[in-house]
Structure 1
Amino acid sequence: MIRSVIQGCGAYLPEKIVTNAELATKVETSDEWIQQRTGIRQRHIAADGEFTSHLATKAAQRALDASGVKASDLDLIVLATATPDETFPATATRVQAALGMTRGSAFDVQAVCAGFIYSLSVADSMIKNGIASTALVIGAETFSRILDWNDRGTCVLFGDGAGAVVLKAEQGQGTSHDRGILAHALHSDGRQHDILYVDGGPSSTRTTGYLRMEGKEVFKHAVVNMAAVVGEVLEKAGLTPADIDWLVPHQANKRIIDGTGRKLGLPPGRVVLTVDKHANTSAASIPLALESAVSDGRIKRGDLLLLEGIGGGLAWGASLVRW
């Protein structure tokens, strides 16, 4: 059985850091209020002229370096983003050109904060179907460009960044002990559009618009849907919560992350938490968290990882990976 095995990962965060205290000078909020409700202490903000493709390319190159894979070895790039450089073409093609990859295919996937899980599933399917053998999966966002900086309910929550992983086809035994991606579960519910969206677009208003969110409703759906999808993906792989070594969640809110960890019976030390340093970076948050725990040595070969996230759409999903 062919498995998609993660060879390595990379991350990039813009140099500019904005603390809660700095935001408190611009909108009616405070460091205490933000930390108490979200766990966020700071966020990185892309510089003028620094685009999603630039962040994605830097994270991608670091993932390639960590994997010992050359851009010329790639035959697929899947880029998860809700903040592309342009309406078209796909931002992934800009990354393809910047890396010097001249064969295969490159395209974007738009599932907002669940985008990395969706993109991982797409790349995994293409590898298992023989369409690709070496793939780069990236999550990259410049959410600072779609924030209303006068809306204290949203502008304090998000940041910019990028993370990436390199996948390679390897022969497995077809058991849960195989290295690589073991299972996915994906869902969406378009009826919940109005609780998290951007009020603009080329077809509707011809302008980009700003992010709009009903925080309490999003929180409620996140708690219920995350519990269900985690159970579903574990069942697909024939595993239980006791088998999980690390929870690598979408970094939206510390309370949601803590709640998911408790439901799985995982101690806080087995949950990767980076929301305090990065805030919510949408599709970039899971690979950024993953890279953090890999680079500091917490995640080791053979560990079972549960990746999960939910975002606008609503769209949500989970993946099980044997490192």
Structure 2
Amino acid sequence: MMRRSVLMGTGSALPRRALGNAELAKMVDTSDEWIVERTGIRNRHVAAPDETTSTLGTAAARAAIEAAGIDAKSIDLIVLATATPDQTFPATATIVQNALGCNGGIAFDVAAVCSGFLYALGVADSMLVSGAANRALVIGSETFSRILDWEDRTTCVLFGDGAGAIVLEARDEASDQPRGVLSTKLHADGAHNQLLFVDGGPSTTGTVGKLRMRGREVFRHAVTNLSSVLLEVVEQAGVAIEDIDWLVPHQANARILEATAKKLGMSPAKVIMTVDQHANTSAASVPLALDAAIRDGRIKQGDLVMLEAMGGGFTWGASLLRV
């Protein structure tokens, strides 16, 4: 018998307003053809003033709790990944906790940008397996529209707002094909800060700042780092690439997804892609894609699923689970 973090339910939430490429082209010097050719993105959602990282995270969490068929009060751990918190402090996770009515347990934020959900999943899994908690909400929620420079066409076309969440439960799994998180690998390399960053913060400028990115360099690092960490995870889990039923990658750019799959020799048919609908929602993108693929029936219980992401820092990671 081995204690594992088993997936019980998924959920997601998107802001009310959808912003398509044609409408965006009226705001900045770009075109639908230019965006689609370079990124695969056709649409993104933009939060209204009354929609925040916590409200989106709460809505995604409620959907995941409903899918799991549990009482929110049974959640004793919330790990929320975000680079766009409601406030500098307290943690947005505590706002979500209060909204769900499960106060008293553990609740905190994780800041690892686009890799945030993988980092949050790794932390939650460790705490569940160790016995520190029994049921966890892992949430990725972002309002990246708040930190975009809407006059910079190289970045503002890439990002959107949204949230995704999963419920995990610690269970003793005895079978030879146990459900739950099987292996997770996480990395960071702070030497590349200036390739993808926000030019502000409480301690430096006293402002929120705007996102800045050198896309060509980020692309090159992403393909190399993601294919490398995926191989680390399958080796640790004792499986082969061909054993993986589905790859659920960070939805940054369709070209990165295609290049990573090709480098690993994976069929594009096994790659879950939602970047065309949601753009890059940072920490929310992996759980958003996972929820979409579970709800439309592609990912089924028993499937072997690989999650992966890379973001500013640089941070990157991957996690293998049997759903």
Q: TM-score, normalised by structure 1?
A: 0.98
SS in 1 for 2:309: strand
Over 3 Å counting, the alpha-carbon distance change for 1:174 and 1:204 in structure 2 is farther
1:182 — aligned with what? 182
1:235 — aligned with what? 235
1:62 — aligned with what? 63
For residues 178-198 of structure 1, what are the alpha-carbon distances to aligned partners after superposition, in whole Å with 9 as ceiling and x for unaligned? 100000000000000000000
Matched residue type, 2:310 = I
Matched residue type, 2:203 = S
Separation of aligned partners in 2, 1:276 and 1:74: 33
Matched residue type, 1:136 = L
Q: Percent identity?
A: 62
Matched residue type, 1:241 = I
Alignment of 1:260-271 (within 5 A): 260-271=260-271
Alignment of 1:281-296 (within 5 A): 281-296=281-296
SS in 1 for 2:132: coil
For residues 267-297 of structure 1, what are the alpha-carbon distances to aligned partners after superposition, in whole Å with 9 as ceiling and x for unaligned? 2221100000000000000000000000000
1:35 — aligned with what? 36
Matched residue type, 1:130 = G
Separation of aligned partners in 2, 1:212 and 1:299: 35
SS in 2 for 1:154: helix
SS in 2 for 1:153: helix
For residues 153-192 of structure 1, what are the alpha-carbon distances to aligned partners after superposition, in whole Å with 9 as ceiling and x for unaligned? 00000000000000001112385x2100000000000000
1:126 — aligned with what? 127
Matched residue type, 1:72 = K
2:73 — aligned with what? 72
Separation of aligned partners in 1, 2:213 and 2:192: 11
In the alignment of these two chains, the number of paired residues is 322
Q: TM-score, normalised by structure 2?
A: 0.98
For residues 16-66 of structure 1, what are the alpha-carbon distances to aligned partners after superposition, in whole Å with 9 as ceiling and x for unaligned? 001111111111111000000000001000111211000000000000000
Moved over 4 A (4+): none
- Report whether the alignment pairs 1:104 with 2:101: no
- Report whether the alignment pairs 1:22 with 2:23: yes
| Unmatched 5+ stretches in structure 2 | none
Separation of aligned partners in 2, 1:42 and 1:279: 6
Separation of aligned partners in 2, 1:157 and 1:233: 28
Separation of aligned partners in 2, 1:260 and 1:305: 16
Separation of aligned partners in 2, 1:259 and 1:241: 16
SS in 2 for 1:292: helix
Separation of aligned partners in 1, 2:162 and 2:36: 20
Cα RMSD (Å) of the superposition? 0.8
- Report whether the alignment pairs 1:219 with 2:201: no
Matched residue type, 1:165 = I
Separation of aligned partners in 2, 1:36 and 1:96: 41
Separation of aligned partners in 1, 2:238 and 2:13: 35
Separation of aligned partners in 2, 1:259 and 1:70: 42
